Amino acid sequence: MLDFIYYPISWILWAWHKAFSWLLGAVGLPVDSSPNLSGLAWALAIMFLTVTVRLILLYPMVKQIRTTQKMSELQPQIKAIQKKYANDRQRMSMEMSKLQKENGVNMAMGCLPMLVQIPVFIGLFHVLRMFNKMGDGAGGMGFTAEQTRNSGNYFFKPNEVQSFLDARLFGAPLSGYISQPKDQYAAFYPLGVYHPEDAHSLFVAILCVTIPMLLISAVATHFNARMSINRQTAAAAANPQANVMNKMMLWFFPIMILGTGVMWHVGLLTYMLTNNIWTFCQQYFLYKKMDKEKLEAKEKLEEARAANAPRPGVKPKRDKHGKVIVVEQPKAVETAVAEKKLSAFSGLFKMKGDGAAATGASDSADAAAGSVGDSDGAAAGSAASDNASGAAGKGGAAKAAASSASAGVGAKSSAAGSVESVDADAKAQRQAAQRARQHANKNRKGKKKKKR
């Protein structure tokens, strides 16, 4: 009935076993020469079956972790919606969906990894169980030891089934489990080799391997759950439903592993251990990355707020909800440096005469346009031109020309507010300054002629 699950699982396991059998044989360790080497190849195949499944589920798993984290952050808003629409379930559901959509939360994607891993676990359990078809219990087909060793198992041929049954991991067969009937041990030996007195030693080997693996799996499940729960906010942890789920993850699931461990094959416990190790590493690195992203976003927001902080006595701009509007200005530092340069130019212009002031106005406008790539730079350039022109003092015509040009250009810059307007302003200032210089030169020549 579930062959669409069993065949893919058995094929992945078969492919990895072929790969590791070839690899061990290539380094001079043929798997057929020793049950322990064969067990190593099969154990590695099970481990990399786990890795394959987890790699396939990596993107959904990342989405699940991010969704869980986001839902924890949204708990105050969720509680507010629940309180506001306590008597209107339909409206509450609509508002919840709207909140999730606005914040990019997809609950279906968050549940996908768990939904996929359940059939994988069931499929692997069944495939490992079907290597030994003896008995009439769960998974048993009533086969004899001879029939079991000479029958296939989904993608595995009879000789590969025999390889799996003969393989040992620290002396225990990979499809052996604690509650397995002793008469099924005959399938773990070649025909005519098994003797009933061998059952005790094989049972002890199964106990010595499965009990430590069960304990490690239960403890690892607990600490993986604790790592995830520690990421929850106080509001999320206070939620009654979340509190129940947290307790189940921390205690119920590990206890369930210990309670049902008597039915778990050695191969299935290998899968569980690998899965827990992967989960721990994945959560560690992903949480570390998320913390780094959160810190960078916080620093960026603080820089934006500092750049947009209102001057003393000026009220900050707020939106319709009363929140301060923060607009990122990545060139705020460059603008400040440009303003300092312009103020230095202005001080220099005040010390010069009529012609020098007009020349300085043109240069300061060029410096303002080149230093700042936005409308603030253009406005600063216009202000510098005004100061420089005013410093001319005695040159009335130069002062009038430069002031009128600066005023006109400043109005144009504030209206346009773009890079093109900055270029036009700078050009207009240079032309105005040039006319002012020409006019000042004519005045000086006229005065010299009168003196003569």
Number of domains in the chain: 1
Residue that wins the pLDDT comparison between 152 and 234:
152
Q: Is residue 82 part of a domain?
A: yes
**What pLDDT score does 267 carry?**
93
Q: Please say if the pLDDT value at position 57 is more than 80.
A: yes
pLDDT band at 151 (very low <50, low <70, confident <90, very high): very high
pLDDT above 90 as % of the chain: 29
- Residues spanned by the domain of 80: 2-292
Q: Is the pLDDT of residue 359 over 70?
A: no
**409-417: long-range contacts, CB 8 A cutoff, minimum separation 24:** 409/378, 409/382, 409/385, 410/379, 410/382, 410/383, 410/386, 413/375, 413/378, 413/379, 413/382, 414/375, 414/379, 416/375, 417/374, 417/375
Inform me whether the pLDDT recorded for 344 exceeds 60.
no
Tell me, yes or no, whether 212 lies in a domain: yes
Structural domain contains residue 430:
no
Is residue 57 assigned to a domain? Answer: yes
In a domain, 442, yes or no: no
Higher pLDDT, 394 or 272: 272
Confidence of residue 17 (pLDDT cuts 50, 70, 90): very high
Asked whether the predicted pLDDT for residue 139 surpasses 90, the reply is no
Q: 202 in a domain, yes or no?
A: yes
User: Would 351 be classed as within a structural domain?
Assistant: no
Is 97 inside any structural domain? yes
